[in-house]
Amino acid sequence: MHSISPPPFLTLAPDHRRLRLDPHEQRFVQNPYEAYAWLHGTSNVFFWEEFGFWCFGGYDDVNRLLRDRRFGRQNPAGIPDSRGTDRDRTHLRAFDAIEANSMLELEPPVHTRLRTLVNRAFVSRQVERLRPRVEALANELVDRFEPAGEADLLPAFAAPLPITIIAEMLGVPVEMGPQLLDWSHDMVAMYMHGRTHETEERANASSGAFSDFLRSYVAERRKNPGDDLLSLLISAQEDGQKLSEDELVSSAILLLNAGHEATVHQTGNAVRTILAQGGDPRRFFGTPEATAATVEECLRFDAPLHMFTRYAYGEIELADGVTVKPGEQIGLLLGMANHDPASFAEPEKFMPGRSDQKNVSFGAGIHFCIGAPLARLELQSSLKVLFDRLPGLAPAEEPRFRDTYHFHGLERLPGKWSGHAGR
């Protein structure tokens, strides 16, 4: 237990481990690790009042519970959309229709069939073929803004790279990128704490537009198949079964949303982290092995997703005397787990060469991120290009995080530089 006082923005009743911590508190938004560090020394398990469920922040607990099949993503009470069914949802019809067929929100056997069909495009050997394209695109993006000597690296670099790659993979127009991003942001806002009715209306409208857009492309690919991912999903079979059109649309939207949202945040967080180390950033990217180790430490050190929820499928007694009832949710705190001093030496230090390198940033178990190989490749290639081209890159101002817990990403990433390493 701590002898020091807790951060002033949280309280924890030790007798029944009830945590009061507003996820919109600015000091927490800008540095959640201060609270996590104190909680690690006090209790890794607590009932987070603002969310209304038990949360687990120890690395071993999170890693184990992600794999525990007594918990799952599918809401046993109804629509598998992770947000409950205790009120009128008629205004969310289009959003719910997509969620109802999303592999992220489903459990076996449906999840197994969907994931098997989609996974063929995301195995490491398939993804590795994209490395030259990712490097070339990263260089093209730097070419566009490098002469100016300054840029906000989120819209100029971090955002366009993954959305371009996933759009090219799916075979939808790259120039649709900004529109796809807008639709995705509206939908992802449904998962954030404190959403409003206006947020829901916007998410539903974007879900309908996104779905209509993809259905038109599915119809076109059925007539004229190509070598893109959409054509692959249309033709893929498992034991004679194919994806239905609804499953196709939901899978494509999930891949587009997940294929860029977390990677954009992780790219921004990684650039911020590496610049904070001082010195020549190229030292972290001298060899392919060093580059891979640097990316893994970035994923551990400042992850883009800090909470993943699960539903209990029975009455389950967990460690520390916590019992959850069927249908209740638990929160698994990925960002907190990655900083557990019981699992990492000096977790607050950025050490790419650490011997205890591991993380739960992509999850674990059957819902382990299907796009992890692609995300790793994009981060390795794009970060190396950025720092090779702009070794003098420095923050133009102190970057600030957006108030979007449990997503953890920057509002802006203004950078400046003079001189360059060329191509």
Domains of the chain: 10-416 (1.10.630.10)
Whole-number Å distance between alpha carbons of 177 and 163: 6
What is the pLDDT, as a whole number, of residue 83? 47
What is the pLDDT, as a whole number, of residue 2? 54
Whole-number Å distance between alpha carbons of 240 and 232: 15
**Whole-angstrom Cα Rg for the chain:** 21
What DSSP line would sit under 272-338, residue for residue?
Answer: HHHHHT-S-GGGGGSSHHHHHHHHHHHHHHS-SB--EEEEESS-EE-GGG-EE-TT-EEEE-HHHHT
Secondary structure, 3-state, 33-56? HHHHHHHHCCCCEEEECCCCEEEE
Q: Which residue has the tokens 């071993």?
A: 60
Phi, psi of 387 (to 5 degrees): -80, -25
What is the pLDDT, as a whole number, of residue 77? 66
**CA neighbor of 45 nearest in space, from 59, 60, 53, 56:** 56
What DSSP line would sit under 221-257, residue for residue?
Answer: HHHS--SSHHHHHHH--BTTB---HHHHHHHHHHHHH
What is the pLDDT, as a whole number, of residue 1? 53
Side-chain-side CA neighbours of 241 within 13 Å: the count stands at 15
What is the pLDDT, as a whole number, of residue 79? 44
Q: Which residues contact 25 (CB under 8 A, 6 or more apart)?
A: 9
What is the pLDDT, as a whole number, of residue 366? 93
Whole-number Å distance between alpha carbons of 179 and 187: 13
Q: What is the mean pLDDT of each run of 10 residues along the chain (423 residues)?
A: 79 92 97 97 96 97 97 72 59 90 86 85 83 98 97 97 92 90 90 85 95 93 90 79 88 84 94 97 98 98 96 90 93 98 98 96 94 95 98 96 94 89 56
Q: How many Cβ atoms from other residues are within 10 Å of residue 190's Cβ?
A: 19
pTM of the predicted structure, to 2 decimals: 0.92
